[in-house]
Structure 1
Amino acid sequence: MRKSVDEAIDRFEHHTFAGLHLEKLHAAEDPNVRTIRIDGSRRGIVLKPETGDVYCLIAVMEHDAAIKYAKSRKFSVNQKLGVLEVRDATALAQVKPALDALAQTQPERLFAAYGDGELINLGLDADVLPIVRLLTSEDHLVALESMLPQPQYLALVALASGMSPQEAWEEICGLLPDSSPPEAVDTSDLVTAMERSPGDVVFVSGPDDLAQMLAHPFALWRIFLHPSQRRLAGRRSYNGAVQVTGGAGTGKTVTALHRARHLAELGEPVLVTTFTTTLAETLDGQLDLLIDDPEARDRVEVINIDKLAYRIVKDAGGHNPKIAGKAEIQALWNIAIEHTAAPFSAAFLRREWEQVILAQDLSGREAYLGCVRRGRGRQLNPAQREKAWAAIARFLELLAGTGARTHMQIAAEAARILAAEPAPRHRHIVVDEAQDLHPAQWRILRAAVAVGPDDLFIVGDPHQRIYDHRVSLKSLGITVTGRSHKLKLSYRTTAEILNWAVRLLGVEPVAGLDDTQDSLAGYRSSLHGRRPVVRGFPDRNAELDALVEQVRAWLDAGVEPHAIGIATRFVSGVGRIEQALAAEGISTASLAASGSAQECVRVGTMHRMKGLEFRCAAVTGADAEALPAAVALTDKDEDPTAHAHDLQRERCLFFVACTRARDSLYVSYTGAPSPFLPGRAG
C-alpha cells in the first residue's frame, strides 16, 4: 500500500496544476473533499481547501469504504483552538432523531448544568450543540466518540467526568503543541488549522520528504512525538525532578527518549536507565534512530539499573561481584528457617528483608526492631520481630559464606559508594519504567545526580508494576511536587483493545510513586480497530495449533515477522510455542533478540514483553492455573496485604502483555479461563 501511495502521489505531483486525478463527489457533506485513485482496489481521501496550494491525504481505503467515508465526513476549524477537526456529519444527522425521541422520555439532560456560552467557549459549534443538548447519559456520549470532532468530544468528556469548565479548557488546550490557543481563529482557514495540528497532519514538500517519513514505518512509530508529549520533552528547563505518568501506549518512553535527546543537544551528558536489560537495549536502538548528530548521541549512555550498580561496585572494589542465583537464594532461606526454627515462610522473610530492611537501608538488629514496617500487612509483635531478624541474619551469614550477593545487596552497596563520593557523577538522569525500581536502586540515582534543574526525568505507570517494589520518591529526597504530569491518550493501542485490557486490572486502587493513589481516569484511545479475540481450548495441543494458525494469518496479511509478539506466563511454555511454530516453518527469536532477527516472530514470557511494542500480539496460556500463578502468591493467611499486592501484580503483568498490541490482540487458554479475564470477546 505504501508503494502504491508513493506512486500515486508521484503521478499527482506532475499534474496538480490542472487538478488531474482528483474526483469530486456528488452529494458529499464537505465540498472540499475529493478522492484519488491509489491502485486497482483502493482510493485515497483528499482534503483540498478552496484557497492555497495544499492537498491533504486523509486516508486510504478500499474503494467502497473510501467513497462512503468521503461523502460522510466534514472538515472544519475548531472555533476556539484553531485546530483541524473532522466529524461524521452523516452519522450525526442519522442519530439525532433517535436521541431526540429518547430525550423526551428522560427527566434530566447530561449537560443541563452548563449554558450555551460555557459550551461555546470550550469550542463546541452550532452543529454539535443541538445534539449535545439531547444527551441524557455518559453512555450516549461515548457512543458518539467516532462521530464528533475530537476536541469537542474531549471537552464534553472532561465536563462529564466532573471537571469544571476551566479545568476542561485546560484539558483540551493540551491538544495544542504549546498549550496556548491562538488569539483569533479564522474558521474558514483550513490550511492554518492543519499547521496547528502537527499530531494529525505532516507537511511534505515532495517525494523525498515522503520517502524519509515512510522509511522506517514501525520503528518511526515508536519515536514519533505527539503534541502533548512534545511540550514535556522539549521544555528548555525544569526547576528540578520531573515525573511523567500515564497508561500503556501514552508515549511515556518516547517522551523520555526525546527529553534525553533535548538535553544531549544542549551539550550535557545524559544517563538513561531502566529496570530490565531487554528494555535498555531497545531504548539504545531507538536513540540511534532518533539522534542524527553523532556527538549528541555519544553524550547519551543507556544502561539498566542492575548493570549500573554492578559497574559501580566493581570499579570501587577492583573485582567482579558474584551474583547469587535464584535457586541458591531459595535454598539458603530454607536452611536459615530450619536453623532458627522461624515460624515464617521463605517468601515472607525474603519480602521482609527486601521491602523493609533493604528498602529502608537498616543497619542492624536494633534498627529493624524499632522501624516502621511500611507496606507490610501482617503485624509482628516484638517477639516475632526477634524471630524474623534471627532468620534473616542467619540467611545473610549463609549468603556471605558463598561469597555471592543479590542484585539488591549490590544496589545498596552502590548507593553507599556514591553517597560517600565528594560530588555526584551525573548532571542529568532519565528513568524509564520507574514503577519497577526498588528503593535501593532509587538511592543510587539520587546519589548519582546533583540536586538541581533537570536532574531527574522520571516516567512510569504504577498500573504496569510487575515487580514487588514500592517506593515514596519524597522519602528518598526526590521531590516532584508541581512537576508531575499525566499522559492520557494512548497512541499505540486501539480503543477496543484498551477498553478490554483495562478491565484486567480490577478495581483495587494502585499506589503511585509520590505518596498518592494513581488513577487511569481519562485514559483513552482515538484509534479504532478489531476487538480482542479470546478463545478457549480443551487441551494445550489444540491451543498451540490455533496459535500457529493465527500467526500464519497475520503473516499472510503482510505483517512483518518481527512485528508479531507472543507471550506466555512461564518459561516452559515458551519452548512449546517455539517448537509449534518451527514445525510449520515459522522462524522465532527471543523477545530479547536484537534488531538483526527481522525475519523472526518474537516469543517470550510476559515479563519479557515489558516496554516492547508489536503490531500484533498473542497471549497464550491465560488459564486459571497460570493467571494468577500460585508460585507468585503469598499465602493469604500469612499476610493478607502481601497476598492482595501479589494478585494485583499478576493482574498488571497480564495487562502489560496485552497492551503491547497496536492493531490486533489474540488471547487463548486451556481448560478454565483466568479469573482476570473480563469475559469472552470475539
Structure 2
Amino acid sequence: MPRLAIAKSFLTGYANLEKSVRKSVDEAIARFEHHTFAGLHLEKLHGALDPHVRTIRIDGGRRGIVLKPDTGDVYCLLAVMEHDAAIKYAKSRKFSVNQRLGVLEVRDATALEQVKPALDALAQTRTEKLFAEYGDGDLINLGLDAEVLPIVRLLTSEDHLVALESMLPQPQYLALVALASGMSPEEAWEEICRLLPDALPPAEVDTDDLVTAMERTPGEVVFVSGPDELAQMLAHPFALWRVFLHPAQRRLARRPSFNGAVQVTGGAGTGKTVTALHRALHLAEKGGSVLMTTYTTTLAESLDRQLDLLIDDAGVRDRITVINIDKLSYRTVKNTSGHNPKIAGRAEIQALWEIAIEQTGAPFSAAFLHREWEQVILAQDLAGRDAYLRSERRGRGRRISPGQKERTWAAISRFLELLSDSGAHTYTQIASEAARILAAEPVPRYQHVIVDEAQDLHPAQWRILRAAVAVGPDDMFIVGDPHQRIYDHRVSLKSLGITVTGRSHKLRQSYRTTAEILNWAVRLLGVEPVAGLDDARDDLTGYRSSLHGRRPVVRGLPDRRAELDALEEQVRAWLDAGVEPHAIGIATRFTSGLTRIEKALSAAGIDTASLAATGSAQDCVRVGTMHRMKGLEFRCVAVTGVDAGAVPASAALTSQDEDPTAHAHDLQRERCLLFVACTRARDALYVSYAGRPSAFLPDHHN
C-alpha cells in the first residue's frame, strides 16, 4: 500500500495559492483517498540531477514536485510551482541522507556547481581560508559529504558562507556556521544534534534509505495516515505548527516528564507558543488537568482556537482550561465573594490619585505613586505601613529618603481609602486577592500550569499560578521572551517559589519571520540588555531565520491623510496578489487611530474586523492596536502611525527627572511593543509614518 508524505515546503506553497488553484491541487492528489497513485502521471525529467524527483501536472500552468524513493512505495509532495519554476527546481535539487545525523537533506546542486568557479577564483587570490584549521576528518564527522567538502575548502569569508545558505543542505550549513562562530567541533556537533528529535544520532546510517531519513526529519516531512488527515492538513495549510514540530520544540513538548518547573525562552517566531500548545496536549493525554494562561484576552482566545484545531479527542481537550490571567483572578474572587467586583477605569484611578496627592501633599506624581504601589507593595505583597517602610523597593530607580517614604505611604493609603469608598478595585488588587484565596485552598486546582507570554505577568499574578498547582514534576511550563515585554512587570521567579535552575531552554530558530524582516526588526530594540525572568540578562545571540523574502517597506508620508491613502494602496496590492483578507493584519499605537483606518479601508471597499474576530470575519482584514497584536501572526502586516509623536507614546513615559530608571524601562517597553507588532509578519512588512519618523526606526532607504 502506498504511503503519502507531505513536506513542509509543500504546505507553505499550497497556503499561498489562490483558491481555484488549490482546488486543482486537491483534485490531483485525490487518488490518495483510494490508496493509489495510478493516473497521477508521475514524470521523470531528462537532465534531472536526482533520479528520485518526479513532477505531476496540476493545471495548465503549474506542476507539482514529488520525491519518490526507490523503496517503501512512498510519495512525498515537495512543492507546487509555476511550470517553468517547477522544472527548474526539479532538475536542480538533490535529496540525500546526512551521513552522520541520518536526516533528509536537500541541496541546490546546480547553483553550487555554478558558484564554484567564482569561489575558486577568489580562493586563488587569498592565502587564508575560512575553515583551514579543521581537517577533513573534523568536517566529515560533522556530516559534511564529498560534494560539499571541496566547496567548503574554497571559502575565504563568512559572507561567502552566508551566500551559500539557500544552496547547501541545512544540517551541513548549520555545522559550518557553528564552526565559523567560534565553536569547537565538539560544540558544533552538539549544536547540530538539536536537529534530531531525541538529540541522539542513529548508531548506523544507510545513506541510500531516503524513507528512514524522512521519518527522522519530522520538522520537515510528515507521513499522512489517511484521507481524513490529508483533508485536515489541506483545510488548514497555514497551521503548519500542528504537524511540523522542529526537533528542538518536539523534545520539550513531548518529553515524558520534567522534574519541576521549566522555562522556555526565545525570540519572536521561534515556536514558544507552538511548544506550549503541544506540551498542553501531551500532559492532557497523560490524564492531567491543565491550566493554560496568558496576559491578554485576545491571545487566550487564540490559544483556545488553536487547541481546538490541534486536539481531536474531546476527552483530552476537556482536560485543558484556557483563560487569561485577569479573567482567572476575577472569576476566583467572584466565586468566593458571591458578587461581581467592580473594576476601576484608568480615568477614575487617575482622578483618585490626584485627590490623594492634594489631600496628603505628596511630592510625587500620580504615575510615580501608582508604580510604587504596584511594583513594590503589591509585587512584594506587603501588609501595611511597617512592611513597606522596611522594604527594599527592588526594581525602582529613584531613591527616596525615609521621610519621603512616609509621605509616599500616606498618599498610597489615602488612595486606597478613596478606591475602597468607591467600591472599585484594580485588576492587580483582584489578582492579589485571588492569590490569597487559592493559597488557602487545601488542594491545588490543577496538576499542570502552562504560561504563555510569561514576561508580561505581574508578581501577584505569578502568586496565583504558584498557588494553583502543587510544587512537583511538570508543575509549570513557562514560555516567554523578555524582548517582547510590553507591560512594566518585572519578576524573579525564584523569589516567588518557582525554580527553573537546570530546566531553562532557549529556542533560537525563527520559523515565522523572514531573515530580512527579523534583521530589520531586531534593530528596533536598541542596544540595551534586558532582564529575564530568572534574575539573569537575556540576549538574542544565535537568533536567526532560514526563511528569506523581501525587505520591509518603510514609507514616510507628509500627513495622516496621505498615510491612510498609502495604506489602502498597500492592502489592495496584497489582496490583488491573492493574499486572503484575514491573513493581513494592521496595527497602530492608539485606539483612536483604529476608526480612521477602518473608515479609510471601508471607503475603498475593503472590509475590516478587530483582531479578536473569528468565524464570519474570514473575509475581513484584521485591525487593532499594537498591544492586541501580541501572540498573533499574519502573512502580511502593516504598522502605521510610527511617527515621532506617537512612538514612543509620551503618556507612557515616566519623566526622566522623576525616575531615570523607570524612564529607561518605559522607553524599552515602547521599543518592545513596536518590535512585537512588526514581527507578527510572515512574508511582508509595511511600516509607515506621517511627518517625522519615530526615533526607533532604523535608517531606511526606499
Q: TM-score range with shorter-chain normalisation?
A: over 0.9
**Whole-Å separation in 1 of the counterparts to 2:222 and 2:242:** 17
Asked if 2 retains the 8 angstrom alpha-carbon contact of 1:439 and 1:471, the reply is yes
User: Does residue 272 of structure 2 align to residue 252 of structure 1?
Assistant: yes
**Whole-Å separation in 2 of the counterparts to 1:204 and 1:611:** 29
- Opposite residue 132 of structure 2, the aligned amino acid is A
Please, what is the CA RMSD of the aligned residues? 2.1
Asked if 1 retains the 8 angstrom alpha-carbon contact of 2:492 and 2:535, the reply is yes
Match of 2:622 in 1: 602
Asked if 2 retains the 8 angstrom alpha-carbon contact of 1:532 and 1:681, the reply is no
- Opposite residue 498 of structure 2, the aligned amino acid is I
| CA distance 1:398–1:103, shift in 2 (3 Å) | farther
Instruction: Give TM-score scaled by structure 1 length.
Output: 0.95
Q: Post-superposition shift, 1:43?
A: 1.9
Asked if 1 retains the 8 angstrom alpha-carbon contact of 2:636 and 2:685, the reply is yes
User: Does residue 49 of structure 2 align to residue 34 of structure 1?
Assistant: no
**Whole-Å separation in 1 of the counterparts to 2:37 and 2:404:** 86
**Whole-Å separation in 2 of the counterparts to 1:13 and 1:297:** 28
Give CA-to-partner distance per residue, 1:129-161, whole Å, 9 cap, x none: 232233333332222211111111112222233
Q: Post-superposition shift, 1:275?
A: 0.5
Give CA-to-partner distance per residue, 1:236-272, whole Å, 9 cap, x none: 2111111111111111112111111111121221111
Following superposition of structure 1 onto structure 2, how do residues 339-354 of structure 1 map, counting pairs within 5 Å? 339-354=359-374
- Opposite residue 569 of structure 2, the aligned amino acid is E
Equivalent position to 2:552, from 515, 520, 532: 532
Match of 2:442 in 1: 422
- Opposite residue 367 of structure 1, the aligned amino acid is A
Match of 2:338 in 1: 318
Q: Bigger CA drift: 479-488 or 129-138?
A: 129-138
User: Does residue 460 of structure 2 align to residue 440 of structure 1?
Assistant: yes
Instruction: Give TM-score scaled by structure 2 length.
Output: 0.93
Q: Post-superposition shift, 1:393?
A: 2.0
Equivalent position to 2:499, from 460, 469, 479: 479
Q: Post-superposition shift, 1:389?
A: 2.1
User: Does residue 249 of structure 2 align to residue 240 of structure 1?
Assistant: no
**SS of residue paired to 1:68:** helix
Match of 2:196 in 1: 176
User: Does residue 91 of structure 2 align to residue 74 of structure 1?
Assistant: no
Asked if 2 retains the 8 angstrom alpha-carbon contact of 1:224 and 1:254, the reply is no
Give CA-to-partner distance per residue, 1:616-668, whole Å, 9 cap, x none: 21111111211111111111222221111111111111111111112222111
Asked if 2 retains the 8 angstrom alpha-carbon contact of 1:545 and 1:580, the reply is yes
Q: Bigger CA drift: 461-470 or 247-256?
A: 247-256
Equivalent position to 1:668, from 685, 688, 691: 688
- Opposite residue 86 of structure 1, the aligned amino acid is V
Following superposition of structure 1 onto structure 2, how do residues 372-411 of structure 1 map, counting pairs within 5 Å? 372-411=392-431
**Whole-Å separation in 1 of the counterparts to 2:392 and 2:346:** 28
Q: How many residues align?
A: 682
Match of 2:250 in 1: 230
**SS of residue paired to 2:619:** coil
Match of 2:326 in 1: 306
Q: Bigger CA drift: 288-297 or 459-468?
A: 288-297
- Opposite residue 610 of structure 2, the aligned amino acid is S
**Whole-Å separation in 1 of the counterparts to 2:350 and 2:378:** 18
Give CA-to-partner distance per residue, 1:9-54, whole Å, 9 cap, x none: 3479999888973333343333333333221111222223344422
TM superposition outliers: structure 1 runs of 4+ over 6 Å: 11-20
Match of 2:432 in 1: 412
Q: Percent identity?
A: 83
Unaligned runs of 5+ residues in structure 1 are none
**Whole-Å separation in 1 of the counterparts to 2:614 and 2:226:** 34
**Whole-Å separation in 2 of the counterparts to 1:342 and 1:107:** 71
**Whole-Å separation in 1 of the counterparts to 2:178 and 2:357:** 55
**Whole-Å separation in 1 of the counterparts to 2:194 and 2:698:** 32
**Whole-Å separation in 1 of the counterparts to 2:356 and 2:125:** 71
Match of 1:271 in 2: 291
Q: Post-superposition shift, 1:517?
A: 1.2
Asked if 2 retains the 8 angstrom alpha-carbon contact of 1:223 and 1:286, the reply is no
Asked if 2 retains the 8 angstrom alpha-carbon contact of 1:177 and 1:230, the reply is yes
Q: Post-superposition shift, 1:681?
A: 5.8
User: Does residue 103 of structure 2 align to residue 83 of structure 1?
Assistant: yes
**Whole-Å separation in 2 of the counterparts to 1:404 and 1:29:** 72
**Whole-Å separation in 2 of the counterparts to 1:220 and 1:295:** 24
**SS of residue paired to 1:162:** coil
Match of 1:616 in 2: 636
Q: Post-superposition shift, 1:62?
A: 1.5
Asked if 1 retains the 8 angstrom alpha-carbon contact of 2:218 and 2:245, the reply is no
Following superposition of structure 1 onto structure 2, how do residues 472-621 of structure 1 map, counting pairs within 5 Å? 472-621=492-641
Equivalent position to 1:656, from 633, 651, 676: 676
Match of 1:151 in 2: 171
Q: Post-superposition shift, 1:86?
A: 1.0
Equivalent position to 1:203, from 216, 223, 231: 223
**SS of residue paired to 2:520:** helix
Match of 1:6 in 2: 26
**SS of residue paired to 1:217:** coil
Asked if 2 retains the 8 angstrom alpha-carbon contact of 1:239 and 1:452, the reply is yes
**Whole-Å separation in 2 of the counterparts to 1:267 and 1:205:** 25
| CA distance 1:334–1:378, shift in 2 (3 Å) | same
Asked if 2 retains the 8 angstrom alpha-carbon contact of 1:46 and 1:59, the reply is yes
Match of 2:10 in 1: none
